[in-house]
Structure 1
Amino acid sequence: MHDKTPASEEVAQSPLIGRRTVLHLGLGTVMAVPFLPMPSTSVQAHHGWNSFDTRSAYFVAGSLSRVRWGNPHSEVRITLASGPLPADLQERALPQGANEREARETIASVRSYGGEHKELDLVLANPEWMARWGLNRALVVGETIEAVGFLAAADDQDFRPVMFWLANGQGVWQQLTAFPLRPEPADKN
């Protein structure tokens, strides 16, 4: 005879394995699924802006030397080309799906990247979100892009674009969640 009692959940704390969910299935059967701590940097880097300094935006341009396209997020490495900010950056049409206030504040905060790295690792949205924002294909090694975004606070080789542009001028939005701090206007002197 089977117990017809519906399954129920409870949360338990254990000093040895941390938080876990206990599922009671009836007939005395209990299953425990541990929730193990995950490294906070990679989680934050992929699911929010908290590990990035969103007060100062940077412009980068160059060719892609590595592409990993997929979930939970796509990642590319860009070999940087040096140069000034594009003259048309302030007037560019915003990418499809852009939050106009956030985009304009970010562009007003932008300065050319002047760091020591010759390559940066870019954390991009997943392919499904990029398709919603108008990019219906994978990026490819050798392709050139321009991007505006923020450097990671802990590792200034990690860069998270708010938006990027393909060589044909198509913009691709990248922001789904709010910034922890609003971008500050760049010093124009």
Structure 2
Amino acid sequence: MKSMIFNTPSVIRGLRQLTTSGIAGLIALGAVLGPVSPAAAHHGWPGFETDRLIYISGTVSSDGVWGNPHSQFDVTLDSSMPADTPDLRIPDELQDPEDSSRVNAARSYKGPHKELEIIIAPPAWSGRWGLGRALKIGERFRAVGYINRTNDGLFRPVVFWYGDDNVPVNQVLGNTLPVRAPLPK
């Protein structure tokens, strides 16, 4: 007799509606939580201290990852760096005075780390702007970018230069900085 109660058409219809509503609810929850996932916070510009640009220089110290959604590798920092960005060629896309003046005025990194993890655009993007391969251990690396808000050992460039020839690579979408931070005083 109990099995007959659960086999009635109204009960079956109710269970189907509950299942459909539950799936729809999970999809909606995923859409809401998706943009604030750890990956989004890790990779998006808002996860970085965009109120000040930092200059770093050093050598690539790990093979890292060359792939999607971003490439990552470590850089051992030079023991002494200039006070601000040395005279390096700015990529054409970032030569607007509002951007190039900020890149050129970025202060050198003074944080506690001797090595930073670098996160750059995926190969398709970096290749579009001049870097079609993974960087090699021991290769020179200079960059201007931002320190992560929650992990001060993570650095994301807006522009970087690699190799002995200081080849410039744009790392922002389009031709403006993600945030035009105030110029240092």
Which TM-score tier does this pair reach, normalised by the shorter chain? 0.7 to 0.9
1:158 aligns with 2:154: yes
Structure number with greater Rg is 2
Contact 1:52 1:150 in 2 (8 A): yes
Give the Cα–Cα distance (whole angstroms) in 2 for the partners of residues 184 and 107 of structure 1.
Answer: 11
Higher strand proportion:
1
Give the Cα–Cα distance (whole angstroms) in 2 for the partners of residues 135 and 113 of structure 1.
Answer: 24
Alignment deviations for residues 43-84 of structure 1 (CA, whole Å, 9 cap, x no partner): 1332x3101111111111111112211111101111111223
Alignment deviations for residues 97-124 of structure 1 (CA, whole Å, 9 cap, x no partner): 4363453143254111011011111110
Q: Give 2:71's match in structure 1, choosing from 71, 74, 77.
A: 74
Structure 2 counterpart of 1:135: 131
Q: Which runs of 4+ in 1 moved over 6 A?
A: none
Q: Give 5+ residue unaligned stretches, structure 1.
A: 1-11, 21-33
Structure 2 counterpart of 1:19: 28
Higher helix proportion:
2
Q: Give 5+ residue unaligned stretches, structure 2.
A: 1-22
Contact 2:57 2:81 in 1 (8 A): no
Structure 2 counterpart of 1:185: 183
Give the Cα–Cα distance (whole angstroms) in 2 for the partners of residues 88 and 75 of structure 1.
Answer: 22
Structure 1 counterpart of 2:103: 107
User: How many pairs align?
Assistant: 161
How high is the TM-score relative to the length of structure 2? Answer: 0.73
Give the Cα–Cα distance (whole angstroms) in 1 for the partners of residues 128 and 82 of structure 2.
Answer: 28
Give the Cα–Cα distance (whole angstroms) in 2 for the partners of residues 79 and 121 of structure 1.
Answer: 9
Q: CA RMSD in A?
A: 3.0
Alignment map for 1:22-61 (pairs within 5 Å): 37-38=33-34, 40-46=37-43, 48-61=44-57
Rate the CA distance shift 1:186–1:82 in 2: closer, same or farther, 3 A.
farther
How high is the TM-score relative to the length of structure 1? Answer: 0.72
